[in-house]
């Protein structure tokens, strides 16, 4: 007999009034019969078990199919309880012991700190948490501490002082913004080397949900709340690259993307049409395509192996310094200087690397750490979570019709195959952003992880303060610095 199919426990039990053999195999499968053979994987399907008198209830989350005909129908995860009565009190005790031992051996989280962002996306995160997330954590017997975020940077500030020894992970029921805040908070702690190792989970409840989509799509799962929570409960982990963006003494830690040009303009300027809902991005995207902007600027980078032919050789562009500007939040910058983050970025000697350069003008420059920027935007189909590189997607000269066609393929990643797109992987990157080619009194927006990092003059809401100014910035990647809960 295959050792994995050796029974750890077997018994004749009663299920729904029917006496049937039930076995827990060494590979973690529960087998029984209710007229037909039934099977549950303790590792994959079982959330927990509870006892009530002589009965044992197995709480599980299993795949089901919509519709009366299962063929071709999409699968969904649904809660399902299986109740059985062992043949004796001794058998009942042994079942509880064996099930407990097997579940405990899986290393699942037992205590989680959960951020819920009630303001993100469709402002439905609180409802999603109450109706979908909390019941699953309760079924899995996970103790949770919940914190609703009250304002921007609240999650970052809480994370900086959180006693992480009390928790097995931090979960964000939100879009990508709260996850980014948590990473920045962890890396601004004195104990950052320990803190950044705490596993992070994300449940899609925001506008973009790029990280949740990237994680779930990597195993072919839909970007659904139940799938995301299931991944957290199972406790599997994977490393995640973290990019450090530097301008002078100011640092920002990015895990998703940076955009400058067309993509940033659409993402940020379309907010004026927020009343249109998700259609605002398509509408404003078309507006920007019909009145296309190009930006003067310069991109320098250290290519990954195999991408050395892109650009022209150049010297290290130099460390960016902070320029004083009216749209720079100097008070925040000064505070960051006083309370320097204990993590200062990857220890890389950038001066001795083989830098290359591409000069503008540019229609769009996009850097990505993971494949999906949003649930419908596969920005960088070749991006990996922890390969130590960022994927750089650039568009320079491109006629309107090919550009329109290209943008329509963002949901499949097909845009990177366009001859008008330059797509490569980089270890380090420097951006020197400039003004628009046709109106040099106006500049652009630098968008990082869905938030404005810098606004140039003449841009949408240019009077608002930003962490950095519209000037040179530098990015380097630290491979696998953070840790994510992952479906596998």
SS3 129: helix
Residue with tokens 């964000």: 172
* 329 noted as active-site residue: no
Q: Give the contacts of 2 (CB within 8 A, at least 6 positions apart).
A: none
Q: How far apart are CA 444 and CA 300, in angstroms?
A: 18
Q: How far apart are CA 7 and CA 94, in angstroms?
A: 13
Rg (CA), the chain: 25
CA distances from 135 to 106, 141, 142 (A): 21, 10, 10
Q: How far apart are CA 163 and CA 166, in angstroms?
A: 6
Residue with tokens 């994370």: 159
Give me the torsion for CA of 267, 268, 270, 276, rounded to 10°.
80
Which residue among 11, 45, 139, 176 is the active-site one? 176
Q: Say if residues 380 and 370 touch (Cβ distance below 8 Å).
A: yes
Number of helices (H), then strands (E), in the chain: 12, 23
Q: Say if residues 392 and 426 touch (Cβ distance below 8 Å).
A: yes
Residues with a known catalytic role = 176
């Amino acid at each position: 007999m295959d050792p994995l199919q050796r029974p750890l426990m077997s018994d004749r039990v009663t299920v729904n009034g029917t006496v049937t053999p039930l076995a827990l195999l060494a590979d973690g499968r529960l087998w029984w019969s209710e007229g037909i053979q039934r099977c549950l994987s303790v590792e994959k399907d079982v959330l927990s078990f509870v006892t009530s008198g002589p009965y044992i209830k197995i709480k599980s989350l299993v795949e089901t199919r919509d519709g009366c005909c299962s063929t071709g129908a999409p699968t969904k995860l649904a809660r399902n309880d299986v109740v059985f009565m062992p043949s004796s009190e001794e058998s009942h005790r042994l079942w509880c012991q064996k099930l407990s031992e097997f579940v405990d051996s899986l290393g699942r989280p037992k205590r989680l700190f959960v951020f819920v962002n009630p303001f993100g996306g469709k402002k439905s995160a609180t409802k999603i948490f109450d109706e979908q997330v909390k019941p699953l954590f309760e079924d899995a017997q996970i103790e949770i501490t919940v914190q609703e975020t009250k304002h921007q940077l609240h999650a970052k500030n809480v994370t900086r002082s959180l006693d992480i020894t009390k928790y097995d992970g931090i979960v964000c029921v939100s879009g990508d913004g709260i996850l980014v805040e948590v990473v920045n908070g962890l890396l601004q702690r004195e104990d950052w080397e320990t803190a950044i190792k705490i596993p992070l989970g994300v449940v899609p409840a925001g506008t973009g949900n790029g990280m949740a989509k990237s994680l779930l799509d990597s195993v072919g799962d839909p970007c659904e709340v139940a799938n995301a929570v299931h991944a957290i409960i199972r406790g599997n982990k994977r490393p995640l690259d973290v990019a450090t963006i530097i301008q002078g003494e100011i640092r920002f830690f990015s895990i998703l993307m940076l955009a400058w040009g067309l993509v940033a303009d659409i993402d940020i300027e379309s907010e004026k049409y927020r009343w249109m809902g998700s259609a605002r991005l398509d509408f404003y995207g078309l507006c920007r395509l019909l009145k296309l902007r190009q930006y003067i600027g310069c991109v320098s980078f250290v290519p990954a192996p195999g991408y050395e032919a892109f650009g022209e050789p150049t010297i290290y562009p130099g460390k960016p310094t902070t320029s004083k500007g009216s749209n720079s939040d100097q008070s925040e910058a000064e505070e960051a200087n006083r309370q320097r983050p204990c993590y200062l970025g990857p220890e890389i000697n950038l001066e001795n690397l083989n830098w290359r350069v591409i000069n503008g003008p540019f229609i769009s420059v996009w850097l990505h750490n993971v494949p999906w920027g949003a649930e419908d935007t596969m920005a960088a189909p070749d991006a990996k979570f922890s390969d130590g590189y960022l994927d750089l997607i650039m568009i320079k000269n491109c006629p309107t019709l090919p550009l329109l066609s290209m943008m329509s393929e963002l949901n499949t990643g097909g845009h990177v195959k366009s001859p008008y797109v330059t797509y490569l992987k980089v270890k380090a990157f420097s951006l020197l952003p400039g003004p628009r080619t046709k109106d040099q009194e106006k500049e652009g927006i630098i968008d990082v992880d869905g938030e404005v990092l810098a606004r140039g003059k003449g841009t949408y809401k240019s009077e608002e303060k930003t962490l950095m100014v519209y000037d040179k910035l530098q990015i380097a990647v630290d491979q696998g610095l953070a840790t994510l809960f992952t479906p596998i």
